[in-house]
Amino acid sequence: MQGWRLALALALALVPEFLLAQVMPGTGASRSTGSASTTSASSGSAPLPAAASAPPGYILSANDSVGVEVFGEDDLRTSGRLNPEGNLSVPLLGSIHLAGLTLTQAASKLTELYGRDYLVNPRVNVMLLNYAKRRFSILGQVGHPGSFEMPESSPGGIDLLEAIAMAGGYTRIAAPERITVRRHNASGDQIFKVNAKRFNKGSGGGFLVEPGDTITVGESIF
């Protein structure tokens, strides 16, 4: 009898592990499940990318990339880009509209929503990761008419004279006193008539060009 048991033990020792798992359920399978569970948990707590330097009072808009952290809740950490409607997909809450809010206001909104149904006294932080590309256009009597990106240091707008400088400055027949700026907003298009002859570069008293504006520099009338 002892010889039979010894022979069986030797035979089992030579069986490959994947076959042994089928013969003895619960050994190899349980190890595999544990490993998969660990991988999933670590991916949910990955750190967020470095935040961008947002100017005070910066207002979020579509295509901005943001990160959201909930103190003590690593599984709720997320980052993403606001869609064209200005919404961000947030864990547990779904699609939340954040465009038009400052970072502080966005954090307050998410704090309220998490506290309403899911968490007790949540602490939420919202940070800007990357600006959306924001452009303006200049037509008419400038050196290089076309579309231009807002500088990263001034994503919310730049002075009119700076915008004209980016387009190569005035042409010989430009009329700085006859500039129009078309701006589209929720209530429709606005047209501004601007006399840039009254502005001194760097004085801070000029006209602020905003993302989406179309500037047209008129021609002198001889």
| pLDDT tens digits for range 96-118 | 999 999 999 999 999 999 999 89
Measure the CA angle with vertex 60, ends 55 and 63; round to 5°: 120
Q: What pLDDT, on the 0 to 100 scale, is given for residue 35?
A: 32
pLDDT of residue 204: 53
Q: What residues contact residue 96 under an 8 Å CB cut-off, 6+ apart?
A: 87, 88, 89, 90, 109, 110, 113
The pLDDT score that the predictor gives to residue 39 is: 25
Give me the pLDDT at residue 222, please.
67
- 124: tokens are 């939420």
Which tokens belong to 211? 């993302």
Task: Give the C-alpha separation, 190 to 180, whole Å.
Answer: 10
pLDDT for the residue 133: 78
* pLDDT score recorded for residue 125: 95
Residues lower than pLDDT 70 in the chain:
1-45, 186, 200-205, 222
Report pLDDT for 51.
74
Q: How confident is the model at residue 188, as a pLDDT? A: 79
From residue 60, alpha-carbon distances to 67, 76, 107, 109, 186 in Å are 12, 21, 12, 13, 16
